[in-house]
């Protein structure tokens, strides 16, 4: 990985909170293969049979369409059914990443034709002789729990194919389904004449969950034991599903990692220069943004229908120049009647067991990456950043978080971690715990390799997304500030195995406890402490994250 590629990724990171590198060579599977299908690797879905790839530990079915390509007249329409195919469809290559901002992926590899899932199962699990209609426990083994992964990337970048779930699947004896869904302007576009305004990505995720309910039995999975889990923007998407009436019955548990239903941010929050905001917006504002975009792209017309015809005729790259205007899902809509933060506080959500958590030093990833690129937060600009972010509260924030001799970037990241990430995550956890079994964690490995290189003199700590590498393998990561691979210590590998155990046990039983791991107590509305996840003897123990992250101070300022 070159310095250019890191710069490109971190530039995207600053705009979207998190961008994950993508697997090389992703693309639409070919319609036919030269070699005859291997019957042992063929599964029959409702739309037709697919042939996967059998490895040493898992069998993978890659690039399975769960909806029709949302292109042409289907751009900005709810996902439509897949057209059935004849013959065996090769499922040996992931679909292309969904169209996203330039700089976040290799140019030319993304596409609007991107509504695909990758299904990874333990090696000898699939039921090759049954169909999705008839497969059941008669195969001779218990159906496996299913974990549906929503990737991060600020809802405007990333891809499910960037995550290899082999360790989770083989250790936990589960099935993992990674999903690609529309992003950015294709996900959130609103317009006065557009049914489904601002919610197309949420509709995609629901279509993927319906695919799982309908087809997963043929892969050896239990359609009535589905855990929806996501990180960062993916967790925000899971929050949307948690409060969406049309997602009722589509999943049975939820895991929210470093992304919450109540997440919002002040100016400079996700990155220096960004405006205050959240991932939710009233539908009227989404529609107004769409009308402005039509004018900016020379598509202003006398009627809504004419404007939409013009916009649907534009090249995707022209539309992506306005991607930053569409980062929030529209509320006041059939899919999302309420702002999820409002809904979760009022108890208007699907009452399913939950895991919710954060990393201890979330915001150090962006601050450290800026320093690596020669753009550190300086002592001179630090007071101005606080003033811009907190206005009348700036003096109180400055007193409560004295910088002393800290590196300015570390001091800023401490404030941002507490205000933007941890205290909002804990607020969501407390709201959930009033009505459903909820387990809350803090990933706290202070030496965890960061997702992107940080400056050598900048301690990354347990930064945003560092916990991902303890659950998934991500090709090419982690690397240090010299672009060299980083090896995990035996203690870190043991922590990774423990975390996989917690996550997959939760998928099996709705309770992460068991297997000789330290007890993880349920959360309570008043807060009973979180499970701290760190390597080494005594590294897994109860912590008081609300106290550690000054949430009493922020309670009246959120």
Q: In this predicted model, what pLDDT tens digit does every residue of 61-103 receive, in sequence order?
A: 999 999 999 999 999 999 999 999 999 999 999 999 999 987 7
Q: How far apart are CA 349 and CA 337, in angstroms?
A: 11
pLDDT of residue 74: 98
Give the right CATH number for 3-17+38-555 from 3.30.300.130, 3.40.50.1820, 3.90.1150.10, 3.30.365.10. Answer: 3.40.50.1820
C-alpha pair distances (Å), 16 with each of 71, 288, 409: 24, 22, 19
Mean pLDDT over the full length of the chain: 91
pLDDT-derived band of residue 504, with 50, 70 and 90 as boundaries?
A: very high
Q: What is the phi/psi pair of residue 125, to 5°? A: -95, -35
pTM of full prediction above 0.85: yes
Distance of CA 536 to the CA centre of its chain: 28
Q: How far apart are CA 340 and CA 357, in angstroms?
A: 17
Task: Choose between 226 and 556: higher pLDDT.
Answer: 226
Q: How far apart are CA 182 and CA 231, in angstroms?
A: 16
77-107 burial by CB neighbour count: b if 16+ within 10 A, else e? bbbeebeeeeebbbbbbbbbbbbbbebbbee
**What mean pLDDT comes out for the span 516-544?**
94
pLDDT of residue 293: 97
Which of 118-127, 137-146, 436-445 is most confident? 436-445
**What mean pLDDT comes out for the span 547-552?**
97
Contact 365, 450 (CB under 8 A): yes
pLDDT of residue 481: 87
pLDDT tens digit string along 307-348? 999 999 999 999 999 999 999 999 999 999 999 999 999 999
pLDDT of residue 69: 99
Which residues contact residue 31 at a Cβ distance below 8 angstroms, ignoring those fewer than 6 apart?
85, 89
* Range of lowest pLDDT (27-36, 178-187, 346-355): 27-36
pLDDT of residue 40: 85
Strand 144-150 vs strand 175-179: parallel, antiparallel, or unpaired?
parallel
pLDDT of residue 126: 62
57-72 burial by CB neighbour count: b if 16+ within 10 A, else e? ebbbbbbbbbbbbbee
**What mean pLDDT comes out for the span 163-171?**
98
According to DSSP, residue 420 is labeled I
Structure-block tokens of residue 428: 């969501």
pLDDT tens digit string along 5-59? 444 444 444 444 444 444 333 444 444 445 778 888 999 999 999 999 999 999 9
All structural domains of the chain with their residue ranges: 3-17+38-555
Considering only CA atoms, which of 430, 432, 401 is closest in space to residue 550? 401
pLDDT tens digit string along 438-487? 999 999 999 999 999 999 999 999 999 999 999 999 988 999 888 999 99
* Range of lowest pLDDT (73-87, 130-144, 224-238, 443-457): 130-144
Considering only CA atoms, which of 410, 510, 499, 421 is closest in space to residue 464? 421
Please report which helix (H) or strand (E) contains residue 442, including its range.
strand 438-443
Structure-block tokens of residue 191: 């317009």
């Amino acid at each position: 990985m070159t310095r250019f590629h890191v710069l490109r990724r971190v530039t995207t990171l600053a705009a979207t909170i998190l961008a994950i590198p993508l697997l090389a060579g992703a693309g639409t599977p070919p319609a036919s293969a030269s070699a005859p299908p291997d019957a042992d690797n063929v599964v029959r879905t409702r739309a037709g049979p697919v042939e996967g790839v059998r490895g040493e530990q898992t069998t993978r079915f890659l690039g399975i369409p769960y909806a029709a390509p949302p292109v042409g007249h289907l751009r900005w329409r709810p996902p439509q059914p897949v057209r059935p195919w004849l013959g065996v469809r090769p499922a040996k290559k992931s679909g292309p990443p969904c169209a996203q901002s330039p700089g976040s992926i290799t140019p030319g590899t993304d596409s609007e034709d991107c509504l695909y899932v990758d299904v990874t199962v333990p090696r000898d699990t699939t039921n090759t002789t049954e169909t999705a209609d008839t497969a059941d426990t008669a195969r001779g083994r218990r159906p496996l729990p299913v974990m549906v992964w929503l990737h991060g990337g600020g809802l405007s970048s990333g891809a499910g194919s960037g995550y290899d779930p082999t360790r989770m699947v083989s250790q936990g004896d589960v099935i993992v389904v990674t999903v690609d869904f529309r992003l950015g302007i294709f996900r959130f576009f609103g317009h006065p004449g557009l049914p489904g305004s601002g919610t197309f990505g949420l509709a995609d995720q629901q279509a993927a969950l319906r695919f799982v309910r309908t087809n997963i039995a043929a892969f050896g999975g239990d359609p009535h034991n589905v855990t929806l889990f996501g990180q960062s923007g993916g967790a925000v998407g899971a929050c949307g599903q948690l409060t969406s009436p049309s997602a009722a019955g589509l999943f049975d548990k939820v895991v929210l990692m470093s992304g919450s239903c109540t997440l919002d941010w002040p100016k400079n929050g996700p990155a220096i220069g960004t405006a205050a905001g959240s991932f939710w917006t009233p539908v009227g504002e989404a529609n107004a943004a769409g009308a402005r975009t039509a004018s900016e792209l020379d598509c202003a017309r006398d009627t809504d229908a004419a404007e939409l015809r013009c916009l649907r005729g534009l090249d995707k790259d022209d539309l992506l120049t306005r991607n930053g205007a569409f980062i929030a899902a529209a509320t006041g809509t059939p899919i999302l009647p309420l702002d999820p933060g409002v809904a979760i506080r009022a108890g208007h959500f699907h009452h399913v067991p939950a895991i919710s958590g954060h990393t201890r030093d979330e915001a150090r990833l962006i601050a450290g990456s800026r320093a690596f690129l020669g753009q550190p937060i300086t002592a001179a600009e630090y007071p101005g950043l606080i003033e811009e972010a907190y206005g009348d509260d700036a003096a109180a924030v400055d007193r409560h978080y004295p910088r002393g001799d800290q590196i300015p970037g570390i001091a800023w990241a401490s404030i941002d971690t507490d205000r933007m990430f941890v205290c909002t995550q804990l607020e969501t956890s407390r709201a959930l715990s009033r009505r459903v079994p909820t387990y809350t964690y803090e990933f706290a490995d202070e030496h965890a390799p960061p997702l992107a290189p940080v400056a050598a003199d900048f301690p990354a700590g347990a930064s945003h997304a560092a916990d991902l590498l303890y659950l998934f393998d991500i090709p090419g990561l982690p690397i240090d500030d010299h672009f060299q691979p980083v090896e995990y210590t035996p203690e870190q590998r043991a922590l990774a195995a423990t975390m996989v155990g917690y996550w997959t046990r939760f998928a099996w039983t709705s309770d992460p406890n068991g297997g000789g791991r330290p007890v993880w107590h349920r959360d309570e509305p008043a807060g009973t402490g979180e499970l701290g996840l760190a390597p080494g003897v005594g590294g897994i123990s109860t912590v008081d994250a609300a106290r550690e992250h000054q949430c009493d101070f922020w309670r009246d300022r959120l």
